[in-house]
Amino acid sequence: MNLQKIKSQPLQLNTLGYVDSATQIASPNFDVRPEAEISMIVIHNISLPPNEYGGDGIMQLFTNRLNPHEHPYYAKIYTRKVSSHFLIRRDGELIQFVSCLQRAWHAGVSQWQGRERCNDFSVGIELEGSDFEAFEAAQYEMLQSLVSCLKKNYSIQQVVGHSDIAPGRKTDPGSYFEWQKIK
C-alpha cells in the first residue's frame, strides 16, 4: 500500500462497505448485522505472537488458519472464531477483513450505555500492538483517516476502547494509546 497516497487522498468507503485502498483479506467470521445503524467504533490492540509484530498470526487467526504448533500461545486460541473489520499494521498498512455492512466478531460480551452486544452496532479496528508499548505515528495517521471516513458514512456517536465496553475483561487499546491523536 502506498502510504503517501493515503496521506494525500481521503479514504473512500464503497457501497459494499469496503475501503477501496485497503488490502482485502476475507474472514469467514462474520454474520448479518441485526441493526442497520452503525453508531460506534471500537479500538482494540492485537499482536500474535503476543508482543511480536510483523508476522501473519493476526491474519491467520481472523481467517481460521492459525497453526497451534507454530507458537505455544496459538495452541490456546487457534479454535476461536474472531475477526475485526480492520487492522492497522505498525507501518500504517490498512487491512480489511469484513465489510462494515456485516457484523464482525470483535467485541465479545460487551455493553455500552445500557446497550449490549456491541458487535451489532459497531465497527472494530485493531491496531497491531499491545498494552505495553506505544503505537506508531503511521498507525495514528491511518486511524485518523479511517475514523474520518467512517464518520462521513455512518452515524458514529462514540469512539471507544475495548476496555470501555468490556471492563474487567479487556484492557485494550491500553494505557499507551493516545486518545487525543484521534479527533
Instruction: Return the active site residues.
Output: 126
46 beta partners: 128
Amino acid identity for residue 130 in this structure = S
φ, ψ at 32 (rounded to 5°):
-75, 135
Mapped to the 3 state alphabet, what secondary structure does the chain carry?
CCHHHHHHCCCCECCCCCECCCEECCCCCEEECCCCCCCEEEEEEECCCCCCCCCCHHHHHHCCCCCCCCCCCHHHHCCCCCCCCEEECCCCCEEECCCCCEEECCCCCCEECCEECHHHHEEEEEEECCCCCCCCHHHHHHHHHHHHHHHHHCCCCEEEEHHHHCCCCCCCCCCCCCHHHCC
